[in-house]
Amino acid sequence: MKEFIQSEAKAETAVLVGLITKQQNERKTMEYLDELEFLAETAGAVTVKRFTQKMDGPSSVTYIGKGKLEEIKQYIIAEEDAEREVGMVIFDDELSAKQLRNIEAELKVKILDRTSLILDIFAMRAQTANAKTQVELAQYRYMLPRLQRLWTHLERQGGGSGGGGGKGSVGLRGPGETQLEMDRRIILNRMSLLKQRLAEIDKQKTTQRKNRGRMIRVALVGYTNVGKSTLINLLAKSDVFAENKLFATLDTTVRKVIIGNLPFLLADTVGFIRKLPTDLVDSFKSTLDEVREADLLIHVVDVSHPDFADQIAVVEKTLADLGCADKPSLMVFNKIDAYTWTEKDPDDLTPATKENISLEQLKNTWMAKMGGDCIFISARERENIDDLKDLFYERIKQMHTQKYPYNDFLFQNYEDMAMEE
């Protein structure tokens, strides 16, 4: 009897490339590459090597210098000789069609940039028709200016340059489209169809939002992978997909939450990320409408992340771009159970760094800065959840009585009435 040999499917290997510039120092570049490695891991690739180069700015021809490109090429050849094939090279910025074409011709492997990697994860995560349509539109928008490199093997075969001494091939001259023009037309037609579909979905979503009754709308916003879905599962006792991966949530989930006698609607939204292309944000308009129409924003922050202050800045900038910067908001610092710090030696006279700040000092700093508008919790370990509920109750109750002056609570809280008297 034959024995079957089961071989595990090997994950694709990836090489990461980043630039160190005047605007982006080495520490910042390493943080970006850490995030890029996490993105690659989410997409199913294993990072085997990183390359960085100090330059004034990216080269318009090959993004990096010729010498560094040759170094990467030699590394790929050496790995192939050792039977460890490199599957792809991922660049930390968006590449132009010209850069992609030149790098691909030199390295002879699959080339991805940050945007195409994010789009790949989006396509993998999309579940509903709405999310799938949004992702497809974003992919076409990305593909449109880069069409030329997809058809280099056909050059201008699909048609001619018309009369008047055109350069079409013998027997192919005359009216007609080139392969490139035909592809562009097909994609533009498809994009207009997707936009129509999204407009219809938008109408449905608007109708749904109108029918939600007299309840305050609260939206969870924040960087990707900070624990928004875990928090909504905890508060709404629901089963929203939550995982320690980037962009686990792509579809907006709205749940009714009741704290005491106060019902309100809580929406989980797609997380933000650094260097997120603007057309990608536009594609997720219907998802982000929940944020625009919310009465209160809950900004969730991963306090255990070494660079959480930068993540806060990214989210605030994205919210400003969406026109939501002036909305009332609360800041929830999550994952306090995972926070680590290094105690400074009493004899050490060097200035304290952010690694030497204890959680207590951090709490005092942010409490002084934001007053009662922030709270430190752990959604996974259920730490300070009662305090969080109390904070939500007080803030949402205040907004509820202003917006709906008639009594719309589930039941009357007589203790509150006694206190008011």
Quickly state the pLDDT bin for 4 (edges 50, 70, 90): very low
Q: What is the mean pLDDT of residues 186-197?
A: 90
- Tell me what the pLDDT averaged over the chain comes to: 79
H-helix or E-strand containing 332? Answer: strand 329-334
> What Rg do the C-alpha atoms of the chain give, in angstroms?
26
Quickly state the pLDDT bin for 18 (edges 50, 70, 90): very high
- Which of 162-171, 247-256, 275-284, 341-350 is least confident? 162-171
User: Residue 35 CB: number of other CB atoms within 10 A?
Assistant: 22
pLDDT in tens, 133-165: 888 888 888 888 887 655 555 554 444 444 444
Q: What's the confidence (pLDDT) of residue 284? A: 65
Q: How far is CA 355 from CA 32, 166, 307, 309, in A?
A: 19, 67, 11, 13
Q: What is the mean pLDDT of residues 173-180?
A: 62
Q: What's the confidence (pLDDT) of residue 7? A: 43
Highest mean pLDDT among 42-51, 235-244, 265-274: 42-51
Q: Any residues with CB less than 8 A from the CB of 238 and at least 6 apart, and which? A: 232, 253, 255
CA distance 222 to 89: 29
Q: What's the confidence (pLDDT) of residue 52? A: 92
pLDDT at 29 over 80: yes
Amino acid at 67: G
Q: What's the confidence (pLDDT) of residue 15? A: 92
The more confidently predicted of residues 95 and 211 is 95
- CATH class of the region 12-120: alpha beta
The more confidently predicted of residues 69 and 180 is 69
User: Residue 382 CB: number of other CB atoms within 10 A?
Assistant: 12
Amino acid at 118: I
**Pairing mode, strands 88-91 and 12-20:** parallel
Q: What's the confidence (pLDDT) of residue 417? A: 47
Q: What's the confidence (pLDDT) of residue 54? A: 92
Q: What is the mean pLDDT of residues 74-102?
A: 89
- The dihedral through the CA atoms of 368, 369, 372, 374 has a sign that is negative
What is the CATH number that goes with domain 213-420? Answer: 3.40.50.300
Highest mean pLDDT among 2-16, 300-314, 364-378: 300-314
For tokens 């203790």, the residue is 415
- Which of 172-176, 209-213, 354-358, 365-369 is least confident? 172-176
Q: What's the confidence (pLDDT) of residue 253? A: 77
Query: Please, what is the Cα angle at 157 between 155 and 160, to 5 degrees?
Result: 115
Q: What's the confidence (pLDDT) of residue 71? A: 93
Q: What's the confidence (pLDDT) of residue 377? A: 86
Q: Do 118 and 98 contact (CB within 8 A), yes or no?
A: no
Q: What's the confidence (pLDDT) of residue 119? A: 86
Domain boundaries, the chain: 12-120, 127-155+176-211, 213-420
Q: What is the mean pLDDT of residues 62-70?
A: 91
Q: What's the confidence (pLDDT) of residue 294? A: 86
pLDDT at 210 over 90: no
Q: Any residues with CB less than 8 A from the CB of 197 and at least 6 apart, and which? A: 133
Q: Any residues with CB less than 8 A from the CB of 150 and at least 6 apart, and which? A: 183
Percent of the chain scoring above 70 in pLDDT: 76
pLDDT at 419 over 70: no
**Do 12-120 and 213-420 fold alike per CATH?**
yes
